[in-house]
């Protein structure tokens, strides 16, 4: 007698198996895609993506030339956000529709481990944007995505050291300073993606000390 396994159950175990495989890969062998967003606010239900950038890390090398940077020409209200990202209405008018960036990004997210500085915030905005522009991502694919958060890594490290964390202790600039990484003069989504990529490599180096380090140890 041959038992037929329901597709839903089969997909679940296949996804679980793929996740386990990725989690147990060496962090030195996987490809990363570092993503950064500039936003009009922190509420993904009502605020907007102003700009979006990404760049790959392959074999511990950051490929700046393969990175992408988009300014969203469809932003409705900038609010006070230009104070932080410096993009005014003139820059917005020179941008491109956000869906053009999202359509490129969605083709890349399945092949790499995604990296953010504050993953829960940026990913919430991306998921809403994919939905708003009817860019379909299968649920199984979303659940199989592996994401690393450099802010979360740093929070764990500081907690283990029992350091007193002030309100801005985990922002990108302060996290980089602890690894003696330089500041970027210009602040935008692309330079922040670059800064996050450099921070991740510094964190990996600090954690591994030339020893084996698995992806699951970064999660």
The 10s digit of each residue's pLDDT in 156-184 is 999 998 877 788 899 999 999 999 999 98
Residue 7: pLDDT band with limits 50, 70, 90: low
Confidence at residue 56, expressed as pLDDT on a 0 to 100 scale = 98
Mean pLDDT of 78-105: 82
Percent of the chain with pLDDT over 70: 87
Domains of the chain (ranges; CATH) run 28-217 (3.30.420.10)
Q: How far apart are CA 25 and CA 128, in angstroms?
A: 30
Helix (H, G, I), strand (E, B) or coil at 209: coil
Distance CA 193, CA 56 (A): 10
Q: Among candidates 96, 111, 98, which has minimal Cα distance to 33?
A: 111
- Tens of pLDDT, residue by residue over 60-86, are 999 999 999 999 999 988 776 655 666
């Amino acid at each position: 007698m041959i038992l037929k396994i329901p597709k839903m159950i089969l997909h679940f175990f296949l996804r679980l198996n793929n996740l386990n495989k990725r989690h147990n890969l060496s962090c030195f062998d996987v490809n990363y895609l570092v993503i950064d967003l500039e936003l009009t606010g922190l509420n993904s239900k009502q605020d907007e993506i102003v700009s979006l950038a990404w760049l790959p890390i392959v074999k511990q090398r950051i490929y700046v030339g393969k990175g992408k940077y988009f300014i969203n020409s469809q932003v409705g209200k900038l609010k006070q956000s230009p104070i932080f990202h410096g993009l005014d209405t003139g820059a917005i008018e020179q941008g491109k529709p956000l869906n053009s960036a999202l359509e490129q990004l969605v083709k890349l997210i399945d092949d790499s481990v995604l990296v953010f500085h504050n993953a829960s915030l940026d990913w919430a905005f991306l998921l809403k944007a994919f939905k708003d522009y009817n860019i379909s991502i299968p649920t199984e694919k979303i659940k199989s995505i592996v994401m690393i958060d450099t802010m979360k890594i740093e929070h764990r490290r500081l907690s283990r050291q029992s350091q007193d964390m002030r309100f801005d202790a985990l922002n990108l600039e302060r996290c980089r300073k602890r690894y003696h990484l330089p500041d970027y003069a210009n602040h935008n989504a692309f330079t922040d993606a670059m800064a996050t990529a450099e921070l991740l490599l510094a964190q990996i180096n600090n954690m591994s000390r030339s020893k084996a380090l698995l992806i699951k140890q970064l999660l």
